[in-house]
Amino acid sequence: MKLNRTATAVVAGSAAIALVLAGCSTDASTDTTASSAATTTAADGTEAESSAAVTFEEAYIKEKPADKGMTGVFGTLKNNTDEDLEVVDFRVEGLKEGTVFEQHATKDGKMFKIEGGHTIPAGGEFELAPGGAHLMIMDNDEAMEPGQQYTIVLDFSDGSTLTQEIEVRVQAAGEEDYGEDGELGNPGMGEDGHMTNMNDGMGDEHDEHDEHAGH
């Protein structure tokens, strides 16, 4: 009888050990599966980010005081698809109601609203630069100060949308500004041989908007 009790105890102990090992194996399997799933999700996110139809690099809004009614959005739009894409619309969230958003180009020192939208070539890029093509924020009397963050939303001809945070910046010295009459304010030479100051800021309020709309 004593021998039987010993054998029973050994069997029971072996069963307990087997259950413990099985539990460890299950936990390890679960951990491995979870880790694998997390890695796959991270990889998918990276792939999704890198395959965005359009990216907007070095994007910024030019600073403006409250008494200036307009400013510009600049940067480089990169088309990661195999077809030309047009910017059909854009907006900057968080600005007051009534703010106007237009796409502009510049010719002979005058800026004007374009028909349609800026086109980004397939697999190429389109630069939005001071003195050239740009996005305009108009009829807005809010100060936009360096360091402020805004959300810009761009809609493209293929139905895709890009939503991105961009910063307000001071425009670099030497780059064109826009005068109150909508003309480019390039620096010139004064009578004393020194460079004159560029016009201060983008143009002013509704008169400019009406002038642009007439082009």
Domain 54-213 has CATH 3.40.50.11740: no
> 109 or 167: which carries more pLDDT confidence?
167
- Of the pLDDT bands very low, low, confident and very high (cuts 50, 70, 90), residue 176 is low
Q: What is the mean pLDDT of residues 172-194?
A: 46
Output 200-203 pairs: Cβ under 8 A, ≥24 positions apart: 201/64, 201/65, 201/68, 201/71, 201/177, 202/62, 202/64, 202/68, 202/69, 202/70, 202/71, 202/72, 202/177, 202/178, 203/68, 203/69, 203/70, 203/178, 203/179
Amino acid at the residue 80 = N
Q: Which of 9-13, 51-55, 84-88, 192-196 shows the highest mean pLDDT?
A: 84-88
pLDDT number for residue 52: 83
pLDDT of residue 213 exceeding 80, the answer is no
Domain ranges of the chain: 1-51, 54-213
Average pLDDT, rounded, for the chain: 74
Query: Each residue of 127-169: pLDDT tens digit?
Result: 999 999 999 999 999 999 999 999 999 999 999 999 999 999 9
